[in-house]
Amino acid sequence: MKRVLFVFGTRPEAIKMAPLVNVFKKDSDFETKLCVSAQHREMLDQTLNFFNLQPDFDLNIMESNQDLFSITSKILLALKDILKDFKPHLILVHGDTTTALSGALAGFYEKVPIAHIEAGLRTHNLASPYPEEANRQMIDTLTNYYFVPTNDSKNNLLLEGKKEKNICISGNTVIDALFLTLNLIKSNQNLEQKIKKDLSLYYPLNPQRKFILVTAHRRENFGEGLIQICEALKQIAYNNPQIDIVYPTHPNPNVQKTTKSLLTDTPNIFLIPPLNYEYFVYLMSHCYFIMTDSGGIQEEAPSLRKPILLMRNNTERPEALEAGVVKLVGTHIQSITKEAQNLLDNPKDYQAMSHSINPYGDGKACERIVDFIKNFQRDKE
């Protein structure tokens, strides 16, 4: 039996890894354990509870205003003893977080093979997204098994000299998580009613009014970028009083301070607390379109046929741009307001974006990942 250790710490990682953890736990070929850093404490716990996951190791590193030096060093030191005790045959990390980088680095130090889920994404600009682009490239340098969402990601790795036999085009596990969550909501009327009731405390869902769903919290947008985004949202709200804007605000103090100071007094903008994953999926499935600086939402929303305006200067997910499901609008007021107004005013452009095919998968990524690892291990034996 192979010992497998999952290492993650943020809510996005938990969403994308939870279905995979559960598939591994059900497989008798593996002894699977989960280590969380709790880089996002409350938001992480909510997601773990929803997917019925209990960490075997909880590093509990969360502190207010923690910086990258602190996060990285604390995770590395804590993982040292866990790896020496559990002695995993494989460590699985996800994406581009500081927790993922620390997990890969700890595994490298202990000579434990690394499997990188969502490998190969690139902007080729180490400063954007920051520090995620650098994290992802460093993780891929340390990785043994690469699970990429698309052929473009595979090609990025091949150009960097990675071995093709170690790369699997799995699709993105976030689609697995999305479909699982949608099915749970649809099959459980009590859950759906609870979601609607709880959401009504912050936003009065009205089928007669369209709403735009917004997320903006990336580190590189702190300061002027987020100010520009908020000013654009105010202008869109003012120009379209028949439309609501719903913005679940990230708990980071940099986000809270800016959004509350600039958006609180706009009557058709609703600043609401961070949401459990199932609540956010419900809002995604019912909104008109999405404005975001997120990475994962670029992958989820196309499966719900929701256009996305991406409020960033570049993206490590160019497939979504090429497929027409995402439009890159930057962080300037004029470009954001122009493209949002176009989606509100031009049904043809809206339909073109909402009916494109999702390039990120079919909801079977977890199965492919487990099968690839099993087959690779058999070939080695």
Annotated catalytic sites, by residue?
A: 96, 118, 132, 217, 219, 250
Q: What are phi and psi of 92, to 5 degrees?
A: -110, 125
Pairing of strands 211-215, 244-248: parallel
Q: Are 56 and 30 in contact (CB under 8 A)?
A: no
Structure token digits, residue 3? 């010992």
DSSP string of 244-290, one letter each residue: EEEEEPPS-HHHHHHHHHHHTT-TTEEEE----HHHHHHHHHHSSEE
Distance between start and end Cα atoms, the chain: 13
CA atoms within 13 A on the CB side of 256: 7
DSSP string of 93-115, one letter each residue: EETT-HHHHHHHHHHHHTT--EE
3-class DSSP state for residue 364?
coil
Which DSSP letter does residue 138 get? H
Query: Measuring CA to CA, which residue among 41, 299, 25 is closest to residue 148?
Result: 299
Q: Are 90 and 112 in contact (CB under 8 A)?
A: yes
Token pair 């093709």 is found at 164
Compute the CA torsion angle 124, 130, 133, 138 (nearest 10 deg).
120
In one-letter notation, the amino acid at residue 292 is T
Integer Cα distance of 234 and 229 in angstroms: 9
For CA atoms 103, 109, 110, 112, give the dihedral sign. positive
